[in-house]
């Protein structure tokens, strides 16, 4: 599995925790930044990660900003991306099982590092259930421009 990771200035510390987890798990990832707490624009990082997932360069993406919401909104503008904000393990599991989410968005101001590590692990380990959910994902995909 290949993971694209990105964060803005609010998410840089939590992104570091996540990339350490990915390394511990032996997951191949590319960190697209930012690497500083200097103010940056989150849509720039969401676009890089989302485009990499959409074009197949990466299997999934992980984005971190203050709330996760802005990153998810920006990433979802890219055709083929289904970004979900997950505040807990259940949301992460359901985003994969039911929605085949391919990008996870986390809120650094809302999610403790230990919780984020569990969320990421669940997001990476949970397969799409398919079945009755496939027709719904197909309808979501049909909304892409």
Q: Which run of H or of E encompasses 129?
A: none
The CATH number of whichever domain residue 45 belongs to comes to: 3.40.1400.10
Nearest alpha-carbon partner for 114 in 83, 89, 84:
89
- Identify whether 65 is a catalytic site residue: yes
- Identify whether 87 is a catalytic site residue: no
Angle, helices 113-125/89-97, rounded to nearest 10 degrees: 20
Domain of residue 105, residue span: 2-142
Q: How many whole angstroms separate alpha carbon 110 and alpha carbon 138?
A: 31
Confidence of residue 123 (pLDDT cuts 50, 70, 90): very high
Judged on CB neighbours under 10 Å (0-12, 13-18, 19+), 57 is exposed
Name the token pair of 94.
Answer: 């359901």
Number of domains, the chain: 1
Q: Indicate which residue of 46, 65, 75, 81 is catalytic.
A: 65
Q: Which run of H or of E encompasses 135?
A: helix 132-142
pLDDT given for residue 145 in this prediction = 82
Q: Tell me the per-residue pLDDT of 72-98, one tens digit each, with 9 for 90 and over.
A: 999 999 999 999 999 999 999 999 999
Cβ atoms within 10 Å of 125's Cβ, excluding its own: 12
Pairing mode, if any, of strands 103-107 and 83-85?
Answer: parallel
DSSP string, 29-49: EEE----SSS---HHHHHHHH
Q: Tell me the per-residue pLDDT of 22-62, one tens digit each, with 9 for 90 and over.
A: 999 999 999 999 999 999 999 999 999 999 999 999 999 99
* C-beta of residue 81 within 8 angstroms of C-beta of residue 63: no
Q: Indicate which residue of 2, 93, 98, 118 is catalytic.
A: 98
């Amino acid at each position: 599995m290949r993971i694209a990771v990105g964060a803005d200035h609010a998410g840089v510390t939590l992104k570091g925790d996540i990339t350490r987890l990915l390394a511990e798990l032996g997951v191949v990832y590319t960190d697209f930044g930012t690497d500083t707490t200097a103010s940056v624009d989150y849509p720039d990082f969401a676009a890089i990660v989302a485009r990499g997932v959409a074009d197949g360069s990466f299997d999934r993406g992980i984005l971190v900003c203050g709330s996760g919401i802005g990153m998810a909104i920006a990433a979802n503008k890219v055709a083929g991306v289904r970004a979900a904000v997950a505040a807990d393990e259940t949301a992460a599991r359901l985003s994969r099982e039911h929605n085949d989410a391919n990008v996870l968005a986390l809120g650094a101001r809302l999610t403790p590092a230990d919780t984020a590590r569990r969320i990421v692990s669940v997001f990476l380990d949970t397969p799409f259930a398919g079945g009755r959910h496939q027709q719904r994902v197909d309808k979501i995909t049909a909304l892409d421009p």
